[in-house]
Structure 1
């Protein structure tokens, strides 16, 4: 054992290790430089393309291109590192055997993520900044990647959803949206008077809020509950503004009904 250790040319060994370490450092530095330049170039391209497509679509495609570029660059770096250590990637892949089979089964989920993400983008189901509901989670789309889609919930939580888990997509940011408000009043109140009061509020809010596209109008009695009568108000708003309009309507209606002595049940 001692003879074997003494037979080692430590100077050459340390020199070889130093050369490999320097090459690794150089590869990593070049990787980050190329990554930085590539990302900047992609962003510049899409900044110019915002005139031809919507901002959300441009941001979606920009994030996807950066994602693809990063993965591609990473695979190249891994291949160079393998070659640096004298490992033949082709031989490793060909001789992987059982390991390769296991990786193949594990990669099924990854392939499914990529394919699903591709069709989501191709069919323009969602874009960055869209308010959507996917996989049982509501939120604003922040990024659509090859493998995952990133949503930010209303409470600020960021959700990373594997694309293969995205089945039904509900997009609340396409076209005009519906603002709906139900108001319950007492049986003892005059329904016609309540409808008129609410409609006056609707007319005033429509003049004040540019986000309202159509209505809002009181459509009448929606239902009769055990202790109240429910009146429904419906209007159309611009994309992503329906909730703000609904909140404004509820506040103004509550104040108007109180001023007219109408009880909210």
Structure 2
């Protein structure tokens, strides 16, 4: 095979230069995207108050470090994939310039890809779903999630399957391709409502004053204040149920972390009510 080497070398050089330019442009776009995600993550915290942002950050629910780490990981994956694709395309183009017939190799690769597609459709589906689960940050290790009838803490997230431990300690392996609906209790915040069933004969204003005083003291408590995104809210007399007057207090906490605070509010409010001579009629479903 005869080559006109000056022209051939120029063509090869042109392909190599264009490949490097394309790689540089796309890599710069990926890097800029990574920086934009990092800057958004370190911003104000999606409109949250300073107190809420601080509490979420301490609780590990604030997305700053998580988004930055996820963006860097995905950026590295994209750059590696970019290098591979551009490198393969450049090699094939150079081989064509050299006059080598690459069609048989491409045909073989196409046939192999078709066979792989028919033989491993579920595997490919799981891998693609796993990539999007990580890309969209739908869940992470340590998150408490609901997937169908399974609820528990995420132990690991791989490309093919997600491993979860439920409240009984049982380990579940869920294929990523089977995750259709997912609820993440850890991301964001959770609210808790604490109800106090009392006699309708008791003075409502006295009860509201007690609730306001107790929640105010709790908000000033440094230990509990750091676990709340905002001050507790006294809803007041919310309803009448079976001859009882129901008073309610709400609290806003990091995701799935309201339980301890609810218990503390119950203890403090019941103690204060009993000290004031107000009898508390506990409902049967009180936790």
Flag whether TM exceeds 0.5 (same fold): yes
The answer on whether the counterparts of 1:135 and 1:165 sit within 8 Å (CA) in structure 2 is no
Q: Aligned equivalents of 1:224 and 1:173: distance in 2?
A: 33
Of structures 1 and 2, the one scoring higher in RCO (CA 8 A, sep 6+) is 2
**Root mean square deviation, CA, Å:** 3.7
Deviation at 1:109, TM superposition (A): 2.7
Mind listing any 5+ residue stretches in structure 2 that lack a counterpart?
1-41, 43-63, 77-107, 283-287
Q: 1:246 aligns with which of 253, 262, 285?
A: 262
The answer on whether the counterparts of 1:134 and 1:169 sit within 8 Å (CA) in structure 2 is yes
Q: Aligned equivalents of 2:273 and 2:179: distance in 1?
A: 44
Aligned to 1:163: 176
Q: Aligned equivalents of 1:161 and 1:203: distance in 2?
A: 45
Which residues in structure 2 correspond to 1:27-176 (within 5 Å)?
A: 54=65, 58=69, 104=118, 107-176=120-189
The answer on whether the counterparts of 2:196 and 2:280 sit within 8 Å (CA) in structure 1 is no
The alignment partner of 1:213 has SS state of: coil
Aligned to 1:202: 215
- Give the alignment's TM-score, normalised by structure 1: 0.58
Q: Which moved more, 1:151-160 or 1:120-129?
A: 151-160
The answer on whether the counterparts of 1:176 and 1:238 sit within 8 Å (CA) in structure 2 is yes
Q: Aligned equivalents of 2:68 and 2:196: distance in 1?
A: 38
Q: Aligned equivalents of 2:164 and 2:69: distance in 1?
A: 17
Does 2:210 align with 1:193? no
The answer on whether the counterparts of 1:56 and 1:129 sit within 8 Å (CA) in structure 2 is no
**Structure 1 residues 172-209: Cα deviation after superposition (integer angstroms, max 9, x where no partner):** 22233323212222223222222222222211221221
Deviation at 1:123, TM superposition (A): 0.8
Does 2:244 align with 1:219? no
Deviation at 1:144, TM superposition (A): 0.8
Deviation at 1:56, TM superposition (A): 8.9
The answer on whether the counterparts of 2:234 and 2:250 sit within 8 Å (CA) in structure 1 is yes
- Give the alignment's TM-score, normalised by structure 2: 0.54
Deviation at 1:57, TM superposition (A): 7.8
Aligned to 1:6: none
Q: Aligned equivalents of 1:142 and 1:178: distance in 2?
A: 25
